Amino acid sequence: MPDWYGPIGTVSAGVPGSLVGSHCNATPATREYVLSPHIDHTGLTIRSYRRPMRAEDIVEEFPVISIDSNALDAARMLAEHRLPGLLVTDTSGNPYAVLPASQVVRFIVPRYVQDDPSLAGVLNESMADRAAEKLSGKTVRDVLPDHLVDISPANADDTIIEVAALMARLRSPLIAVVKDGTLHGVITASRLLAAALKV
């Protein structure tokens, strides 16, 4: 079993589907374990044990956006807050997809430039103009990558290695966490690495 242990964090979820996101007081990942008392009645001694760090221990504050929101607004949010991606909710406010910042960049760069980067020098329009043109009239739904649509979130009691496996399989910069069927928070790749490496 990996030696990833940590204390329980407290999270209060925001309104799913809003641009504000979930708010939490995630406990720093630098503490290594939780000691919980266990009374051995036969020996009349009190013992302590360590439990694996769970997903709910490292959820963090993160904005969410509705699938029907304006794609250009989503791009601006990514840029202004330097985010690796956005959690996308469906019309009911449930976690539905992830929009990586790299996907938005890929969407606004012409395909022929992606295939041959040397052609980038011939473009005479600004990136801002290009983004406005390509994203105008589009919703977040229109720019989502196929492999990050209708994805399963992690459960609050999943271990960190389970979250890491899900993130690696999906190739996603972040994972939604649910508890009792409700959005509980978000775990980013950087937060996961901090917990794993005890940074």
Which of 33, 30, 24 shows the shortest CA–CA distance to 56? 24
**Mean pLDDT, all residues of the chain:** 78
Tokens of residue 110, six digits = 């012409």
Average pLDDT over residues 7-23: 39
* Candidate from 37-41, 166-170, 183-187 with smallest mean pLDDT: 37-41
Number of helices followed by number of strands (H, E) in the chain = 7, 10
As a whole number of angstroms, the distance between CA 154 and CA 118 comes to 41
Q: Is 107 helix (H, G, I), strand (E, B) or coil?
A: helix
**Tens digits of per-residue pLDDT, 137-160?**
999 999 999 999 999 999 999 999
